Amino acid sequence: MYNVIVISDSLGETAEQTAKAALSQFENLDYKIQRFSHILTLDQLENIISSVEDFNNSIFFYSLVDEFLLTSIKKILDLKKANYIDVMTPSIIAIERMCGISPSIKPGALRKLDENYFKRVEAIEFAVRFDDGKDSRGILRSDLVIVGVSRTSKTPLSMYLANKNYRVCNIPLVPETTPPKELFEIPNSKIIGLTNTPENLNKIRVERLKSLGIPQGSSYSDLNRILEEIDFAMDIMQKIGCPIIDVSNRAIEETADIIINYLKKQQKKFI
- What domains does the chain contain, in order, with CATH numbers? 2-107 (3.40.50), 111-269 (3.40.50)
Mean pLDDT over all residues of the chain? 91
Q: What count of other Cβ atoms lies within 10 Å of the Cβ of residue 269?
A: 7
CA distance 158 to 163: 9
**Higher pLDDT pick, 141 / 103:** 141
- To the question of whether residue 51 is assigned a binding role by annotation, the answer is no
Give the pLDDT score at 177: 95
Give the pLDDT score at 67: 83
- To the question of whether residue 12 is assigned a binding role by annotation, the answer is no
CA distance 157 to 246: 13
Q: What count of other Cβ atoms lies within 10 Å of the Cβ of residue 222?
A: 14
CA distance 27 to 30: 9
Give the pLDDT score at 111: 56
Collapse the DSSP code of 172 into the 3-class scheme (helix H, G, I; strand E, B; otherwise coil) and give the result.
strand
CA distance 63 to 256: 38
Give the pLDDT score at 10: 86
- To the question of whether residue 74 is assigned a binding role by annotation, the answer is no
User: Which of 148, 147, 133, 145 is CA-nearest to residue 230?
Assistant: 148
> Rounded mean pLDDT of 117-145?
92
41 class by beta-carbon count within 10 Å (0-12 exposed, 13-18 middle, 19+ buried)? exposed
Q: How far is CA 171 from CA 148, 175, 237, in A?
A: 7, 13, 12
User: Which of 212, 117, 207, 204 is CA-nearest to residue 162?
Assistant: 117
The pTM of the full predicted model, rounded to 2 decimals, is: 0.61
CA distance 108 to 112: 6
Dihedrals φ, ψ of 2, to 5°? -100, 145
Residue percentage of the chain with pLDDT more than 90: 72
- To the question of whether residue 155 is assigned a binding role by annotation, the answer is yes
Q: How far is CA 177 from CA 136, 158, 174, in A?
A: 13, 21, 5
- Do the Cβ atoms of 110 and 84 come closer than 8 Å? no
CA distance 223 to 230: 10
- To the question of whether residue 6 is assigned a binding role by annotation, the answer is no
Q: How do residues 150-192 score in pLDDT, each as one tens digit?
A: 999 999 999 999 989 999 999 999 999 999 999 999 999 999 9
Type of residue numbered 242: C
- To the question of whether residue 148 is assigned a binding role by annotation, the answer is yes
- To the question of whether residue 71 is assigned a binding role by annotation, the answer is no
- To the question of whether residue 195 is assigned a binding role by annotation, the answer is no
User: Which of 108, 147, 150 is CA-nearest to residue 130?
Assistant: 147
Give the pLDDT score at 48: 96
CA distance 93 to 100: 10
Q: How do residues 75-89 score in pLDDT, each as one tens digit?
A: 999 999 999 999 988
Sorting pLDDT into bands at 50, 70 and 90, what band is 253? very high
Q: What count of other Cβ atoms lies within 10 Å of the Cβ of residue 113?
A: 10
User: Which of 55, 88, 60 is CA-nearest to residue 74?
Assistant: 60
